[in-house]
Structures are given as C-alpha cells and as structure tokens.
Chains A and B, each alone.
Chain A
Amino acid sequence: MVTLYVDDLAVSVEKGSTILDAARKLGIYIPTLCYHPDLTTFGGCRVCMVEANGKLVTACRAPVEEGMVVRTDSSAARQVQRTVVELTLSNHNGDCLTCVKDSRCKLQEVANYVGITPERMAMLRSAVPEVEVDESNPFFKLDRTRCILCGICVRTCQEINGVAAIDFGFRGHKTTVVTIGNKGLAESRCESCGECLERCPTGALARKDYEQPSREVKSVCPYCGVGCGIYLGVRGDRVVSVRGDKDSPVNSGQLCVKGRFGYHFINHPDRLTAPLIKRDGVFVEASWDEALDLVAARFLETAKHYGPDALAGISSARCTTEENYLFQKLLRFLGTNNIDHCARL
C-alpha cells in the first residue's frame, strides 16, 4: 500500500494505483473526459491535470508514490483545466437543448466544475467542424460536431467488442473518428452493438429515437440463451429504452444489437397477441384450443402420409432453455430429428 496526500487528506491505495484512483477513494472530484473505468487509459483530454509534488501530471495516468503531495486545485492545474475545457467547448457544437445528452453530458459536468464564463467564451473563436451527421446506422447517429475526440468509442470498439470498426483517422485539427474510407457507419464492420454510445461522454454518439424513461424495470434480455441482465426503461405503459445491467454477472452491462435496440416489438401494433388461423386465405384470430387442435391434427396427418421426417420444428431464441428442451422432446416424440432454433446473432 502507498500512502499519499490529496488536498491535504491522507489516503492509502494499492501500489500501481493512479492519482485518480486515490482521489476517488477519498471522494475528491477530479474532472475527466477521456477516462473510462472499463477501458485502457488514453490521457488525451488533459482535463484531469493536477499538481503532484509540484509537477503537472494527468491524474488518470500518473501512478501514486509514497508521500506524494497532490493538489487538485492549484492555480497551475486550474489554469490548464480551464483552458482545456474552454478549448474543447470552442470546438464543440454548443446547441445543448437539442442534444439528447443534455443534462447527462460529461462535458457539461466538467465545464460546470472548472467554471466557464460567457465573457471568456466570447473571447475565443468558434472552431466547430462543419461536418454532416452520420445517420447511416438505423439505431444511432454519429454527430462529429459534438465529438470531443476522447477516443472512448474507438477503445470500446477495440477493447470491449473486438470489432474495431472505427479508429482515429487523419491528424491535427482534422483528426476524426473514421471507418475505412471515411464512409458511413452502416458501410463499416460496425455490428451496432451500441457499446460506444453507452460510453460516449457527449451527444456525439446518440440514439436516434431517444425518449427519457420515467422509470426502469430490472429484467433479463429475452433474445437468446445468454440471459443478459437488462433494465427496461418504461414511460407510461411503453418500453422506451433498454440498458445493460452492470451488476449482472452474465454481461457486466454489455449488450448486443438485438438486446439493446430490438425492443420495439413489445409495443408494436403488428405484434401477435392471440393465435391466428388462415381461413379462406385470411388470418383470423382463434382460441388456443382451436389452434393447438389444428396443429396436432395436421402433424398426425402429415406424419401418416409422408412419414415423420416430413415434420420439422424451429423454436424461438426467446424461449428459455427449459422450453426449448420441451420443444425438442415434443418433436422427437413425433418421430423427427429435424429440430432447429434461431438463437444465432
């Protein structure tokens, strides 16, 4: 263990911890933008600059040392923090009211902490890039005018998902998050898992149809057999969002494209709520007894005429393992091994 002093408070942390870890243990706030606990540290945003033993360092990277004296609010640290945030804002689309991340935005939080005045901002020249929003992905958009190049999405795609559909492209003030050929996300290898937008500190990566839920309900994703823990966001009687449950031992908060974005069927008008039987070429609502009798009769009839191998069954990935077990039992009882289900992504 290493003991150090952050703003005069002593704290002991594991060797190899960072100043940020130590400060957080003490409950001391240090602003960060590019830091994310799930990812490797990057150190590019420079807002977590603090003074350690008289030298300016990034708290997210600097390892603690025995007896180290850290000042999170020295005038030198404050000056860099403030300039960095001002610069970031000069480069950022500041139309907050139309941004889905408004009030949940990390940049807003950090700007509030360092203190940004309208007089200072008026002294700076606007350097917001003029780029079209990438709307090609059906579920979310990439608005580069709101991107602060923290690289969290890039690292997420590489480290969490292993897809690496995006990377930093170009350099200098032209640096931007790119896919190959700088084409839309839909044309890339992106699997739309949405892990990046869950971590994006600003509104650069955001859901297209975002609605703020009024309450959340803990549940399990119904799609495949993995059983990811989720929170369904509910508004009135509608499900308006899904997010991964970080505490779930199954997925630690991660989700795939279906789990995260495929919830619209719940409230969809076309969703089946009762069995349908086709009569004279038209589907007509029927009772379960009617439907099951019809299925049983047709199964027996088909097996009799063409043999049991003429039967096949496909079950749903939304079924539980037990349900699937029963389903295959049923088909084998009918004498066929033609069984499959759609639990593939």
Chain B
Amino acid sequence: MKKYYLGIDLGSTTSKAIIIDEEDKIIGRGITNTRANYMVATEIARFEAIYNARFSILKMKLENEIKSNPTYEKYISDVESAFQYLQFKHKLEKLRIKFMDTIATTFSDDKREVIKKIVEGIVNTIGPEIRDAYLFSNLGSKNQFFRDIVSERYNAEIKKSESDLFDPLMLVYDKSITSVENELTEFDFKELIFQSIELMNEKYAKLDEALAANDSSIKFDTEINLLQGNYKKIYNSLKDHLEFVANMDLHITNMVGTGYGRALLPFPEKSIKSEILCHAFGAHAIFPNTRTVLDIGGQDTKAIQVDSHGLVTSFHMNDRCAAGCGRYLGYIADEFSISLNELGPLAMEAKKEVNICSTCTVFAGAEIRELLNVGEKRSDILAGLHRSIVMRAMSLLARSGGVKNEFTFTGGVARNQAVLKYVSELVYKNYGNDITINIGTDSIFMGALGGAMFARRSMTN
C-alpha cells in the first residue's frame, strides 16, 4: 500500500492541511479559516485535503491517458468543481436554516416576517449565483472560504434593500455564520462524487442545448468544445477509475501538526513541530536554494535563515505588534468596508503611496479617516498601508541577518498582490537586484508542507 503523510498548520487566521506522497509530492491541499474552534478547522482542512488528494491520485493514475486525451483532465477538474459546490450547497442549506432560527429568536413579530422574506430572497438569489461560479468559473480553485463567498454576495444584496433594514440584516448574518462555519460534516466521497457527475452531466447537457440553440450567454472554451457531446463517452471510460479512487484506502502513515494552535492538536509530542521549522522546511523544499524565508501570517511575522539543507540557523519574530501582520490588513479591510481579497487589487490602482505615520494598527484607523478627509484617494492610502506593513517586515528581516540569496516569501499575506509588489521592490532596493525572489502558488501551505515532510522523515528515520 502506498504511504501518505499529513501536515496540519493550525494558524491564528487559517488552518491548512497538506498531504504528500512518498516522494514529498503534494497531492492534497485543504484550507479553512480558523474561527473559534481550532479542532473543527483542523478537521475541515484535513477532509478537504483528503478529498483533493483522491482527485490528484486519479489524475496521476491517468497521467498517460490524460496526455493523449486532454478532455479527461478537464472532465476530472469539472467533477472536482461540482464536488466542491455540493459541499458548499450543503453548508448554505444549513445557513438558511440557521438564518431562519436567528430571525425567529431575534426580532419582534412585526419585523420578523419582513426580514424573513428578504433573507429568503437573498439566499435564493445568491445560491444559483454561487452555483454558477463553482460550475463555470472554477470558484472552488480559488481557496475562498465559505464565509467570504457568502458574505461578499450577501453584503451586495443587502445594499439593495431599504437602508433601515441594513443593520438587522447584518445582524442576522453575523449571528448565524460562525456556528455554521464551525459545523463539521464528513461527506461520503463516493456518494458525493456520483452526485457531482450527475451535476456535470446536467451542465454538459445544457451546453449541448445551448449550442444547439445558438445561445451566446454561455462561454465556450476549447476544452468544453471538446467535451461537448463527448461527456458520456468520457464518463464511461473514467467510471472504473473514479470508482477505484473513491474506494481506495488513503492511508495516512504519519502526521505532524504545527502553527499557533499546535498544542491543541491531539497528536503525540514528537508529532508537534514549531512553525518556524515547518515554514522553513516547506519553503526550502519548493525552492531548494532558499536561504532566507519571510513569512507574514495572520498574527505574527517571521524572518528565518536556513542552510542548504533547509535547516533553520536563526529566526526573528514579531509577535508583539499587529502592525506588521496579516491581521493589520484585515483590520484595514474592515475600515474600508471591503473584503480582504479586494484590498490588494485596489492598492495596485494607486498613483502614489500616501505616507502612513501611525505605527499602531488601531490608530491607523483614525489616520485613514483623516487622510480621506483631506482628500487622499482610497487606493493611494491603501498603497501606503501596504507599503508600511512591508517596511515592518523589512526591519524584522534586517534584524534577523538580512536577505541572502535566494529569498522566499510565504504565508497568507503572500497572496496579496500589493504586498508582493512592495516586498519585491524593497528587497531589491535593500539587498540588490541580484537577489532571487520566490513566491510560490502554494505559499500559504508552506507550514503544512513542512509538517508533512517532517512526518515522512520521522517515519523513515
């Protein structure tokens, strides 16, 4: 039996799970936001990684067939999207019930019915919207969390309602989301995958119809063109393989936990590793020439120096001040009433960077309002804020011994384009243009990857 290894990174803001095979190859990724309950977050991330691993194993198994027949890959990805949607749908259904509960217990008789009607309307509107985003725009691959996916659209919808209902509608959402988010559901992979296939078949059938009717509202890319009219045949040839991965025993031989909540994991002591070591090890595995790692996480920033084997030689942490961490951006997003995902793109539109003087997260809020009052543009202020968080990270880097070629940037904040821009700019400025800067697509998973790699090594040692 093949052996697999699991790494769990229980961060202050997000929980990540990575599954690797015997060659350290990542085959499964899972991520969720860590809210009140660490244990549930771990399990959600772990289940997600295991589901994802089954899909990866399927693709690896069919590697040769996929080469000669690219439609297979598209088909499998589509099934995975549908699979993710079905999980989402299950949660949304729970949220609808919770919304109704909250409304019933929160509001007086006269308001209750009005709010109930609006909320039902919102759920009925956003449900299909999100469904299409999963099935046609690959929303599932964007690592967005249930809370963010729903809140973005829920907020947009309530803005359309009468203004005096804004607060009660927000209240319904705030009171309901956490408990649903923290509810753990383990799905039967096999059952769900065949439901996903049915869903895909519907989608493709629709495509066929749309094509026949010359409906231009649905976009066709080349792969879908290939699939069109062909999906039943593909399904027949993949059926046994799908069956196989659904039934296979995905045996996790060993696991290692890391991150801030690691002490809470029900793992033996030797299976709990410091996040410093895990982040460095993970980053070094992806970029083997890395000598300096900067990790900006939710509630701390780490500057780590590693040797040629990925072993940490020294590190420096900021765990005192929020103004250098991801949470700062979260706070700023709240101040601007936008979602975290919108921050970076808006900052990238800046024409200049407004100088931010406040060294404190909390006071930055007051400074932002001042700057808006004197007419500075939102995007320019945001650019300044992004620059200031990176400046803090630079000072930590300097304290840790500076940047040695190569430099790898990891952590949740590495997904923010504006942060990336300033990190690159300032690293080049301070340490020369010869520095190689690495930012991987899996940067948020480095800690979990390092954990999984340690899990494999402790079994083979």
A and B pair up: no
